[in-house]
Homo-oligomer: A and B are copies of this chain.
Amino acid sequence: MARVYNFSAGPAVLPESVLQEAANEMLDYKGTGMSVMEMSHRSAAFKGIIEEAEADLRSLMGIPENYKVLFLQGGATLEFAGIPMNLLNPENPKADYIVSGGWSKKAFKEAKLYGDIRLAASSEDENFTYVPNVDEVEFREDADYVYICENETVYGNKYHKLPNTGKVPLVADVSSCFLSEPIDVTKYGVIYGGVQKNIGPAGVVIVIVREDLIREDVLPFTPNIMRWKTQADAGSMSNTPPCYGIYICGKVFKWIKAQGGLEGMQKINQEKAAVLYDYLDSTDFYQAPVRKEDRSIMNVPFVTGNADLDAEFVAGAKARGIENIKGHRSVGGMRASIYNAMPKAGVEALVEYMKEFETSHR
């Protein structure tokens, strides 16, 4: 078995040790005589899995007791609707959105189905190569929330400073930077993200929400299982949760702990990103379109400026076991997603190839 270096933006690389454990436990989870896929979600074994996953996540992120942790279905995309449905005041629904890439733009568009949704700032004027200056953005004081996508997967930008929204709760989609570095949960009203980038298999979205924001009087047409109140009261089990995905997430939480928690993870991630960015900054053969101060350490787009050359780069990479390095069509060129589980050796192999390619194609 030859594993490749998988730079996919999501679903994405998982720790090999996690996959190995899952394979070993596939027919018999810890002497239960069954797979986690076959387990009643009401069983003691599965309750142990979901409760341990939540406890590990709480300890990793330092989630205060007045925040609920929900493991839900539908991905971040269903929460593009779930967030306004749950947070907007039905009497006077208002929210402000900052758009810094494709995902926040989609979330903004979806929210407009549900109320008076204002575009507070956007960086679309320069194809999302930067994050709007949060010190200059004005918010409505009576907005129900302010929305950001903290790390834009496609464009590779990241908020390195959060907007100060005063008393208005900040809602952040962290799908592509989830658990990549320490976080101060108290600065947010809601932190949420799909797990299929940094945590687990597609099909689970984690919502971390401050208790006082969980409304009973949600928009009246909100499906029952999309109501955070319903799911918080039921421990995420108002209906059958995506059990197997949650089980894998739990294993990844333990793996992150073994890397030194979020501090340890951040150090590793910064080192990996530096290998790539230092090289990109040392050459003019490749260009990294995002402003230096807004760079993501998870998603790194780069281009040669020549579409044919880009295509040749991608094909050559594949031949060396460097997979899914092609950029999103909105940016073109290449994109290296270097999530938590991407080993440093993978980034080094990529940079080595980039150098050789530069030498032979300059």
Residue of B nearest to A175 (CB): B240
Instruction: Say which residue of B4, B78, B243 sits within 8 Å of A201 (CB atoms).
Output: B243
Q: Which of A10-18, A287-295, A353-361 contacts the other chain?
A: A10-18
A204-226: which have CB < 8 Å to B? 204, 219-221, 223-226
Are B14 and A202 in contact (CB-based, < 8 A)? no
Query: A82 — which chain B residues lie within 8 A by C-beta?
Result: 223
- How many copies altogether? 2
Looking at chain A's contact residues, is the secondary structure mostly helix, strand, loop, or mixed? loop
A241 → chain B closest CB, angstroms: 7
Instruction: Say which residue of B26, B204, B242, B323 sits within 8 Å of A34 (CB atoms).
Output: B323
Q: Which of A38-46, A139-147, A263-271 contacts the other chain?
A: A38-46
Q: Which of A69-77, A156-164, A165-173 contacts the other chain?
A: A69-77
Q: How far is the CA of A1 from the CA of B19 in the complex (A)?
A: 19
Query: A224 — which chain B residues lie within 8 A by C-beta?
Result: 77, 80-81, 110
Query: A40 — which chain B residues lie within 8 A by C-beta?
Result: 8-11, 324
A181 → chain B closest CB, angstroms: 22
A17 → chain B closest CB, angstroms: 10
Instruction: Say which residue of B27, B34, B245 sits within 8 Å of A203 (CB atoms).
Output: B245
Residue of B nearest to A224 (CB): B110
- Residue A244, interface by CB 8 Å: yes
Q: How far is the CA of A20 from the CA of B243 in the complex (A)?
A: 19
Contact size range, A: 35 or more
Residue of B nearest to A341 (CB): B38
Q: How far is the CA of A220 from the CA of B114 in the complex (A)?
A: 9
Instruction: Say which residue of B28, B37, B202 sits within 8 Å of A243 (CB atoms).
Output: B202
- Residue A186, interface by CB 8 Å: no
Are A14 and B26 in contact (CB-based, < 8 A)? no
- Interface 1/0 per residue, A301-345 and B, CB below 8 Å: 000000000000000000001011000000000000000000000
Q: How far is the CA of A334 from the CA of B40 in the complex (A)?
A: 15
Q: How far is the CA of A48 from the CA of B76 in the complex (A)?
A: 25
A2 → chain B closest CB, angstroms: 6
A43 → chain B closest CB, angstroms: 7
Q: How far is the CA of A73 from the CA of B78 in the complex (A)?
A: 9
A2-B33, A114-B221 given; 17 more Cβ-contact pairs under 8 Å = A3-B27, A3-B34, A6-B38, A8-B40, A11-B243, A16-B27, A19-B37, A23-B24, A34-B323, A40-B324, A74-B74, A77-B225, A77-B239, A78-B223, A78-B225, A113-B221, A244-B245
A-B contact pairs, 18 of them (CB 8 A): A1-B27, A2-B28, A3-B28, A3-B34, A8-B39, A11-B240, A14-B37, A14-B38, A19-B35, A20-B26, A23-B27, A37-B248, A41-B202, A80-B224, A196-B240, A201-B243, A202-B243, A219-B221
